[in-house]
Chains A and B, each alone.
Chain A
Amino acid sequence: MSSLSPILLRVPKIHLLKDARHFQIIYLGGFLLYGIFALGWQANLAAYFTLISISLFTQFIFLKTHKLSMHGLKSAMITALGLCLLCKSSELWVLGLAAFIAISSKFLIRYKDSHLFNPANIGIIAAILVTGKAWVSPGQWGSDVVLLFMMGAAAFIVLLKVGRIDTSLGFLFSFGGLIFIEQVIYKGWPLDHFFHSMSSGTLLLFTFFMITDPKTTPRAPKARIIWALIIGVFTYILSSWFYTFDAPIWALIIVSPLTVFLNKKYGGKRFHWIKQPSISYNK
């Protein structure tokens, strides 16, 4: 057995529990498998392959040119999986473009020391606006209770790790609250009508895995809550007044630049996926 020890010693330090991105990759991958096998999505392996390979490749090139750690590939994997779950197109080049824009936005659209937009978010929006051949299927998850429970539980673990649960709750509070007031209190729909709106898998994926991206959310907890509340209000306005079915992703892209001002006003420490020894990015 002692012969094993050198091998084990040579195993690179695995930050399995330290890096929340590992959890995100496992869970997002799990949701994708659930969608394909349990929800009967028309699994287009070529589409998933395109999204993942273009994302990773783009990230790889930027990491090389910026001389950054290859740990950054994990972030690209999360973005790619996010796109697999949300972005649809019958043409591969559209998906390739979405993945490319998503990743390159992280390196090209920056203010000071961080990127502005959630990569998956801007990737989808760009693909929809530029090509007109991409779409989001908000109905694809159905409202299966088991799935929603799994999603919530998985999200909880990630968010505890990342410390962004305030964002999710802030969003759910403002968006859910407004929807509840409109549907149940004002219009008089029964409660299951409201729950059907809130239990959409796409909405929860957005709530727990997209707006909680620690890199593009404001740094101070107070700022994050304000930010999340604003996204909730925007989402409500877009979905209830303008009948936008994919309102959350549009609300997020509109509100994203606000992060810069909130960071200026409230400050806060920059987030690192893997704990940095003692380098401070704060002024």
Chain B
Amino acid sequence: MRTIVLTSLFFFAHAIQSFAFCGFYVAKADAKLFNKTSQVIIARDGTQVAITMSSDFEGDVKDFAMVVPVAEVLQRNQIRIAKQSIFDILDAYSGPRLVEYYDANPCQKVYYNKSTAMEFAAAPTEDVEMEMMMEEAKDDGVTILETYTIGEYDILILSAEESSGLERWLTKNGYKIPEKAASVLEPYIKSDMKFFVVKVNLENFQSQGLENLRPIQMTFRSEKFMLPIRLGMANANGDQDMIVYSFSQKGRIESTNYRTLEIPSNLEIPLAIQPKFGLFYKSLFNKAWADAGKNALMLEYAWDLSSRNYVKCDPCVGTPPQYADLREAGVFWVNNQRTAGSNYTGDVFLTRLHVRYNRKTFPQDLMFQITPNRENFQGRYIMRHPAEGDLSCSAGQNYLQTLHDRRVQEVKNLAQLTDWSIAEYQGYIREYDKKMKNGNSPYLQPLPKNKNNGKGGYFFLFGPGSQGPLFWALIVLSLFSIILTGILIRRRQRNFQLS
């Protein structure tokens, strides 16, 4: 039996990669960090769209199958196999990053320390005769519109009259589909969508000596800018992660039926986070998503990659995509004429969204719009190495005090961004206090309480994502008091007029 993966997208995390890069950037959190992470690239201009889906399928390839609702009957030349490497390039380029800076010693005039390179390990049958299939299909109200074999995939494009017929046909043809699948298929049939059904052609898979399934790319026209996630929820329990890389000419993409939030960024964090930056980012994402009510999309990266923009990243975590990469990713509107800063010509804007969805908080498919917003954004976390050497001069002593205060803030940031215990960072805060001359270590700053749900500092009332009862009480109280004051003033005025 072939297990059907009723989804537009996929799958399961496994291997954890390690990286080594020079420069200011020291560590990054990549897409593979999250369980059940699927990746998809969407290049859209006007109504034309190219969608590339990464199949990170684990298990025996003969068990692989997937169903994607599509807007039109795709022709053979609208489907191709893309290189898996394009996902790696985009992931490496746009992932959240840890950057480091070195403090200058205020007691020495020239201070130089080269940044270190650092290695970082961060923590988803039987063949049936075609004619027979066609006959059977008719009985179930299913029409096989096209059949293609492309690379290692056998592709069918189906239309169906009713979901129970489609369900029957799929079951008959060796696809094991989830129980509730029919009710999820129905709305797509009623929306006059076709079904793109993919399974692995084992002969081709073996003859080509492939180890993993390669991404499938399709190009079509659609007024609707959407990703069907509902189908994938039929056979999945719990949360699924998806990274969406989107290319447009105009600017950022955002969801029109869910909130799109920027991931907390540009904050200083303790030095000790470096070896576990991957875990740090995972925890940060979990918390940001939960704080947002578990129904928002997170913006992880947005950058103007247009040929006229010289700064393709700052700092660069991976090589910015070149002409061949962009075309591989389906960006059909760029030309390969060299320009000053790039080997292509054209306006390109990349948006990386991290979506964690489940049946409960994501009742609708993801709808998107392209906005004219061209502001760059990146998930960037900063660590600062303290100055070394003699700090006994008065500027140095002042520096030690600011260092202490900064480290208090770094630990506060850590507590706000993650759910981690900050008890072990007490020593980190006081590490340089001993260099203070008069031995009087500065007063310890109050540490934020652990697990304060991110409503950080003294302004917990208004922290990001805070929708606590206090906030509401304040709003309601202020409204009441304004109305009450109004009534009182009116009464006063009336009384005075009467007297």
Contact = CB atoms under 8 A, between A and B. Distances in A.
A193 B369 contact: no
Contacts of B187: 183, 187-189
Given A192-B363, A245-B256, A135 B373 contact: yes
Contact of B467 (A17, A42, A137, A146): A146
B260 interface: yes
A17 B487 contact: yes
Contacts of A9: 493, 496
A16 B486 contact: yes
B295 A143 contact: yes
A42 B466 CA distance: 15
A166 to B, nearest CB: 25
B7 to A, nearest CB: 18
A119 B311 CA distance: 40
A142 B489 contact: no
Given A14-B489, A89-B372, A187-B187, A37 B256 contact: no
Given A39-B259, A139-B260, A188-B190, A11 B493 contact: yes
Contacts, number: 121
Contact of A186 (B190, B373, B487): B190
Contacts of B190: 186-188
Interface residues of A, number: 50
Q: Which of A13, A37, A186 has the most CB of B within 10 A?
A: A37
Contacts of A189: 187
A26 interface: yes
A188 B374 contact: no
B493 A8 contact: yes
A39 B262 CA distance: 11
A140 B489 contact: no
Interface in B469-499: 471-472, 475, 479, 482-483, 485-487, 489-490, 492-493, 496
B490 A197 contact: no
Interface string B230-258: 00000000000000000000000011111
Interface in A78-94: 88-90
Contacts of B183: 188, 190
B369 A37 contact: no
Contacts of B466: 37-38
Given A137-B254, A139-B255, A8 B492 contact: yes
B479 A30 contact: yes
A139 B490 contact: no
Contacts of B364: 193, 196-197
Interface in A110-148: 132-135, 137-144, 146
A281 interface: no
Contacts of A200: 257
B258 A37 contact: no
B363 A190 contact: yes
Q: Which of A11, A30, A133, A189 has the most CB of B within 10 A?
A: A189
B295 A142 contact: yes
Q: Which of A22, A88, A142, A192 has the most CB of B within 10 A?
A: A142
B493 A13 contact: yes
Interface of A: 5, 8-9, 11, 13-14, 16-17, 22, 26, 30, 33-34, 37-40, 42, 88-90, 132-135, 137-144, 146, 150, 183, 186-190, 192-193, 195-197, 200, 242-243, 245
Leading 5 A-B pairs by shortest Cβ distance = A16-B486, A245-B256, A192-B363, A37-B462, A187-B187
28 contacts: A5-B496, A9-B493, A11-B489, A14-B490, A17-B487, A26-B482, A30-B475, A37-B463, A37-B471, A38-B471, A40-B261, A40-B292, A88-B371, A90-B372, A90-B373, A135-B371, A137-B256, A138-B256, A139-B256, A139-B258, A139-B260, A144-B467, A146-B472, A150-B472, A188-B183, A193-B363, A196-B364, A243-B223
